[in-house]
Structure 1
């Protein structure tokens, strides 16, 4: 028994000291600080809504084509005796410039023969007029009052006059054929292709080449009905001095450089395309190789260009960031003082990559949310953050609702890296 007591007593002392130590440490342990409860709310970025003017634009595209382009063809046949050195692919030509000449010897002989025929007809007419005058005198001297037209030689005189007119017509025809041995350019422009050379025999209507005028080029741009309405263009539009068409900016890459030209809408096509249900709007650029060129880059036929058509200007509209538009008629607006989300129905006028333009539903200065939000609802708790012009991020802290809290702390500013932003 004494041996058991000698073992239990030390164990009891150790247990007492251990329990007493735990109690003592618990008594002197400082109370844990109560952490401030983090405010629930989704962090979202927002941008302010502003007022401004809206210029409606329509994007389209099309191929550049010359307004006038023809196939050069002779009106007579023969052997080519001359070809202008400018009548080559890519050559510049002037109005009235000789392009091609056909050998004229045969046609010169035809003119001589026709002149001879005219002289013979004139001599025959003169002789017939003299004989008709003699016949008239004879009838008068004989006192005949009922002489026939044949006796008065009236049919013979008419025949001689007709023969002279026919000979003169043949002379004109021969002279016209001789004139047509030379083919002239009807306008100033450029040569697209040449299909003839000296010594070649050509027939009437055979293609000698193709040329186009370089004073004006056109671009046909397909537009939808809604786009026509945005531009304020009727289906049967034709520009005039009192009713000019919208301005158009053409863009294309030429020589690895983005080029830009400025033209104007001049008319619409005559009919709607039955397959696409679109209508072509035709824009023109004056002097594409001169004043209308972008530096040394003309808007040459064959280029495929993108076009921006300027529509009407609507003044004093509300402009929100394009990323804030949800669907066609909703904007998410952050209420920074309340820390809440407000879903607004708006009247959308137009939207493009630069913004969403609305007429009502929001106010200038309100913050439109651009961040994506899953399962949004009106009154949802959020923390609105705004990126400032200097790259910093402004966190809009909501005003406290507890009356005991009277401190009015300013919104926090953090760096562009987002450090210090509550997640």
Structure 2
């Protein structure tokens, strides 16, 4: 016995090997089939064998969504501007004799705005007309003498030239006299008066600015990704920062993009018959593209497929999961509108992250859903 203890003390790995052998024998003994007893019926022996266990189906919650007609739009930022604006200048020199309108007043086409002093222009016109009468008589006399051969061709030509010059003088003086009154070029509002009564104006000096606000124009810029979706007379919903809302039409689309921003300028006009809407107001523009059926979902309902594509998971026939990539129609603060559905669809709202396309699931209809 002492010799065995001495041998084990020198070789302790023998003890470890012996313990390992005992553990292995104990573990494998559980897999050995027990021999059926002779007095057990064959049916009971068969029931003693373990049955195949089927894993439970994943449980998901679904909600039915019904497509609704949704208008697809492009959102832009713009500012109101006049349809037309003109800065009027003096075409003749003179002193401002009378202002016929006030700043901010509406004016009709051809309405007098300002009267310059006529000075001696009326007398100069009368003298030019009298001289024209003389030149006309001289020309007629030269024609008569030329027909009788009593005057040469050169004299007739000189008389004709003098007549034409006299007519030009009359016309020039008449225009100068007419230009002492400055008229409105179109219906609009006198936005600015640059002069006061008594001011002296030279030719070209600014007199007044007139703006036409009917229709009112909204200037905006559209990106190069959306320019192919824009066309003339395209309807647009307009919301001014003042709270006023209306609908307009696109009247201009640029053909060349800005080199600085790579955007295209566009113009949308809205009716403003009373010219109560002013220029320079911020505006939200919704260009209307098309109306198509869509369903509204929250971002939490979106899921990824195995390829990393964003979409939604629906419940198909026989409780099978089907993945649909998103077709974005419209984005709102509380959700997104997705197209591609023409009939009611059951969307997995809870548990979509734990199932894949084609999986069979146990579906529970969400309470309160359609």
Same fold (TM > 0.5): yes
1:282 aligned onto 2:296: no
Correspondence 1:56-205 to 2 at 5 A: 56-84=72-100, 86-88=101-103, 90-133=104-147, 136=149, 152-205=151-204
Question: Which residue does the alignment assign to 1:401?
Answer: none
Question: Which residue does the alignment assign to 1:206?
Answer: 205
Change (3 A) 1:47 1:97: farther
Question: Which residue does the alignment assign to 2:297?
Answer: 321
Q: CA deviation at 1:81?
A: 0.5
Conserved in 1, the CA contact under 8 Å of 2:314 and 2:345?
Answer: no
1:357 aligned onto 2:338: yes
Cα distance between partner residues in 2 of 1:203 and 1:286: 38
Question: Which residue does the alignment assign to 2:368?
Answer: 388
Question: Which residue does the alignment assign to 2:235?
Answer: 247
- Residues 224-250 of structure 1: CA deviation (Å, up to 9, x unaligned): 233334x4x3xxx5x4xxxxx221111
1:311 to 286, 289, 300: 289
Question: Which residue does the alignment assign to 2:226?
Answer: 227
How many residues align structurally?
306
Cα distance between partner residues in 1 of 2:246 and 2:216: 12
Q: Secondary structure at the match of 1:76?
A: coil
Conserved in 2, the CA contact under 8 Å of 1:318 and 1:363?
Answer: no
Conserved in 2, the CA contact under 8 Å of 1:99 and 1:184?
Answer: yes
Change (3 A) 1:225 1:53: farther
> What CA RMSD, in Å, does the superposition of the two structures yield over aligned residues?
3.3
Conserved in 1, the CA contact under 8 Å of 2:60 and 2:348?
Answer: no
Cα distance between partner residues in 2 of 1:153 and 1:76: 42
Question: Which residue does the alignment assign to 1:331?
Answer: 312
Change (3 A) 1:77 1:47: farther
Where do 5+ consecutive residues of structure 1 fail to align?
1-38, 138-151, 240-244, 291-297, 395-423
Cα distance between partner residues in 1 of 2:365 and 2:105: 63
Change (3 A) 1:384 1:112: farther
Change (3 A) 1:163 1:43: same
Conserved in 2, the CA contact under 8 Å of 1:320 and 1:368?
Answer: no
Conserved in 1, the CA contact under 8 Å of 2:57 and 2:360?
Answer: no
Where do 5+ consecutive residues of structure 2 fail to align?
1-55
Q: Secondary structure at the match of 1:208?
A: strand
Cα distance between partner residues in 2 of 1:58 and 1:321: 20
Q: CA deviation at 1:43?
A: 8.5
- Residues 313-337 of structure 1: CA deviation (Å, up to 9, x unaligned): 23xx4524142334764114468x9
- Residues 293-316 of structure 1: CA deviation (Å, up to 9, x unaligned): xxxxx43211110111111223xx
Question: Which residue does the alignment assign to 2:22?
Answer: none
Q: Secondary structure at the match of 2:252?
A: strand
Cα distance between partner residues in 1 of 2:351 and 2:60: 10
1:49 to 65, 81, 88: 65
Q: TM-score, length-normalised on structure 2?
A: 0.72
Question: Which residue does the alignment assign to 2:30?
Answer: none
Question: Which residue does the alignment assign to 2:7?
Answer: none
Q: CA deviation at 1:40?
A: 11
Change (3 A) 1:47 1:67: farther
Cα distance between partner residues in 2 of 1:355 and 1:376: 23
Cα distance between partner residues in 1 of 2:205 and 2:86: 13
1:264 aligned onto 2:249: yes
- Residues 365-409 of structure 1: CA deviation (Å, up to 9, x unaligned): 30342x798x644269898674638xxxx9xxxxxxxxxxxxxxx
Cα distance between partner residues in 2 of 1:204 and 1:372: 81
